[in-house]
Amino acid sequence: MFRHWYARPGKSSAAGTAAAPPLPDADAGDIRQYRDRSETLRAAFAEVLALTGIPPAWVSLVAQRAALPDGGHGIHARMILRHWDARLFQGAPQLERLLALRAQALDANHRLWLHGISWSFALSDQDEAAIPPLPAASAWVPQARGRRADAWQKTVAVDPRRVK
């Protein structure tokens, strides 16, 4: 459904990670530093998946080169959700925290180069069909005068063909 919004990652390794190629205008030192940092991030990600028991086929990581405010370059971690499981959404903040903590354990200067972490989706058609609909709009708005409707029972049916 939304697959066209996201760029396809590079070749994936066995650990479910991929690295974007360095920029062509980077010098050899920048490229080496980028590769070292990317490898550190991929190792941290593989350890987090092993620690949490999340199958590597469910989530992958792409290490992307990111411009830092001081003009230097860092790494942006993009986690790609490849399998639908609601537990991954509930645990997403903790996964990000664990990735940052593991990167810190591997490189104490990770805050200087780990620019951010984001999520995207690359779900199969079967997984997309398993995604529950959004709750009704009233579920997001506090109810007046202390009344609370069971808004989760009322859901919005969205026709995916109408979403562009």
Domains of the chain, residue spans: 3-131, 132-164
The helix/strand/coil state of 125 is helix
Cα torsion 117, 45, 99, 29 to 10°: value is -70
pLDDT per residue as tens digits for the range 86-127? 999 899 999 999 999 999 999 998 888 898 999 999 999 999
Cα 18 to Cα 91, 126, 130, 133, 145, distances in angstroms: 22, 24, 27, 31, 52
> What's the mean pLDDT in 46-59?
96
Look at residue 5 and tell me whether its pLDDT is greater than 60.
Answer: no
Residue 47 pLDDT > 70, yes or no? yes
- As a whole number of angstroms, the distance between CA 72 and CA 115 comes to 11
Mean of the per-residue pLDDT values for the chain?
77
Strands 73-81 and 114-121: parallel
pLDDT number for residue 112 = 86
Specify the amino acid at residue 24: P
| DSSP state string for 52-118 | HT--TTTEEEEEEEEE-TTS-EEEEEEEEE-S--HHHHHHHHHHHHHHHHHHHHH-TTHHHHEEEEE
Cβ atoms 19, 63 nearer than 8 A: yes
Residues 53-86 have pLDDT tens digits of 999 999 999 999 988 777 778 899 999 999 999 9
CATH number of the structural domain 3-131: 3.30.300
